[in-house]
Amino acid sequence: MFISSAFAQTAPAAGGGDMQSSLMSMLPLVLMFVVLYFVMIRPQMKKQKEHRAMIDALAKGDEVVTVGGVLGKVSKMGDSYVGLEVANGVELQVQRSAVVQVLPKGSIK
């Protein structure tokens, strides 16, 4: 009286459309990865390449800014460290990768 009759559901017909439907369901996922590559990954790789080129081009006398905001003039060069003269007679040693920007000559007075 209160229970309705259960109806059996027929199985979908097997055919060639099965492969196409699975490819179409993967399309949004593939599209998302392509957009992610062009929006996030590619620009980050380009920025890393530019930073590496700037670090490799450092020379004595360059005026630079470090990650911590310290301004100084390059006085010593090493393989992985750079000596920065931040004031007369005051020299700091920082990692080369900590250099964020090379300033134009004469910026630091």
Class of domain 59-109 (CATH, top level): mainly beta
Gap between the Cα atoms of 30 and 36, Å rounded: 10
- The pTM (predicted TM-score) of the whole model is 0.68
Is 60 exceeded by the pLDDT of residue 109? yes
What was the pLDDT predicted at 59? 94
Q: pLDDT tens digits, residue range 31-55? A: 999 999 999 999 999 999 999 999 9
Q: pLDDT tens digits, residue range 52-97? A: 999 999 999 999 999 999 999 999 999 999 999 999 999 999 999 9
What residues does each domain of the chain span?
17-57, 59-109
What was the pLDDT predicted at 7? 64
Gap between the Cα atoms of 87 and 68, Å rounded: 16
Instruction: Write the single-letter amino acid at 65.
Output: V
pLDDT band at 23 (very low <50, low <70, confident <90, very high): confident
Name 63's bridge partners. 73, 103
Share of the chain above pLDDT 70, in %: 84
